[in-house]
A = this chain, B = another copy of it.
């Protein structure tokens, strides 16, 4: 009998922090992470995959813990020089980090798929966990603000989430297919974890790939999500604003609403215990625990709670 495997759906920093704990209490080589590519962007002609890199660097143990992205102790000499050449440098790219983008861009231009390049990069970073981009197709998250529309990174990094958001678009999603291995991994998984990431843009862009959502809907009794909204706020990022923008209340209940067609259990924080009955009414089981991850112990404890719920 094959050994049980877990599949995790992941955005950026929030997911990576949870996964850091998970890989300490669950075998790394029996975990597959499906990463968000909606935030991918071309900068200086280089293909950047911010969320895939955050997960890879975190699991590889070389992430900058303070920032949550990039390499620890990285320098920014190339970027300073690019600024001198008049390039916009609002999206920070460290020197070591640039190697990832240069490598990825070259391999993609040679005709490789993003999933293949990601496999090569994560292998070289020493990851035992499989990291799969949600899709190899071009899928880009755009924010509509009034009459303007902008790439998610422009909204998030350049404009610091200040524009009013009227809509979120996943450009290219209709023709996007799950990257090779995703459907199979989901079907064979003994459990699926939806990490505490932005449910609208990060997890949203993964679930927007038609066949991924359809596959998850057919899986019963083993999908657990951790709410990234605690006490009506996000730990990091604009999830609360974006939830309101898509007409969902910015609470754990709102998260449950976004996932209710496929979710079995939602892990919520003690502070949100009063929302449990309403969430249960959606047909979603509720598990109440401390969800704030201040240190590695918190991360491992939360991972154990989730694994227990999955019967693993």
Establish whether residues B106 and A78, one from each chain, have CB atoms under 8 Å apart when the complex forms: no
Establish whether residues A46 and B102, one from each chain, have CB atoms under 8 Å apart when the complex forms: yes
A71 surroundings in chain B (CB, below 8 A):
81
Q: Tell me which of A3-11, A92-100, A175-183 binds B.
A: A92-100
Chain A 36-57 interface residues, beta-carbon cutoff 8 Å to B = 44-46
Chain A 91-138 interface residues, beta-carbon cutoff 8 Å to B = 94-96, 98-100, 102-103, 105-106, 109, 120-121, 124
When A95-B95, A109-B45 are in contact, do A103 and B85 touch as well, CB less than 8 Å?
A: yes
Q: Which residue of B lies closest to A76 (CB)?
A: B95
Give the Cβ gap from A35 to chain B, nearest Cβ, in Å.
Answer: 18
CA distance A81 to B100 in the complex (A): 8
CA distance A138 to B79 in the complex (A): 28
Name the contact of A95 in the complex, choosing from B44, B75, B103 (C-beta under 8 A).
B75
Name the contact of A44 in the complex, choosing from B82, B85, B86, B106 (C-beta under 8 A).
B106
Establish whether residues B103 and A44, one from each chain, have CB atoms under 8 Å apart when the complex forms: yes
Establish whether residues A85 and B46, one from each chain, have CB atoms under 8 Å apart when the complex forms: no
Q: Which residue of B lies closest to A87 (CB)?
A: B103
Tally of this chain's copies: 2
Interface centre among A78, A103, A106, A121 (most CB of B within 10 A): A78
CA distance A44 to B45 in the complex (A): 13
Give the Cβ gap from A41 to chain B, nearest Cβ, in Å.
Answer: 14
CA distance A163 to B82 in the complex (A): 37
Name the contact of A78 in the complex, choosing from B45, B95, B105, B120 (C-beta under 8 A).
B95
Give the Cβ gap from A309 to chain B, nearest Cβ, in Å.
Answer: 38
Q: Which residue of B lies closest to A98 (CB)?
A: B78
When A45-B102, A98-B98, A102-B44 are in contact, do A124 and B86 touch as well, CB less than 8 Å?
A: yes
Give the Cβ gap from A62 to chain B, nearest Cβ, in Å.
Answer: 10
Chain A 192-238 interface residues, beta-carbon cutoff 8 Å to B = none
Question: Which A residues lie at the B interface, using CB under 8 A?
Answer: 44-46, 71, 74-75, 77-82, 84-87, 94-96, 98-100, 102-103, 105-106, 109, 120-121, 124
| 15 contacting pairs across A/B (C-beta < 8 A) | A45-B106, A46-B102, A77-B77, A77-B94, A78-B98, A78-B99, A79-B99, A82-B99, A82-B103, A84-B99, A85-B99, A85-B103, A85-B121, A86-B124, A87-B103
The 7 closest A-B pairs by CB, nearest first: A81-B99, A45-B106, A77-B95, A81-B96, A82-B99, A95-B95, A85-B103
Not counting A46-B102, A78-B102, a sample of 18 additional A-B residue pairs whose C-beta atoms are within 8 angstroms of each other reads: A44-B102, A44-B103, A44-B106, A45-B102, A45-B106, A45-B109, A71-B81, A77-B94, A78-B95, A80-B99, A81-B96, A81-B99, A84-B124, A85-B103, A85-B120, A86-B120, A87-B103, A95-B95
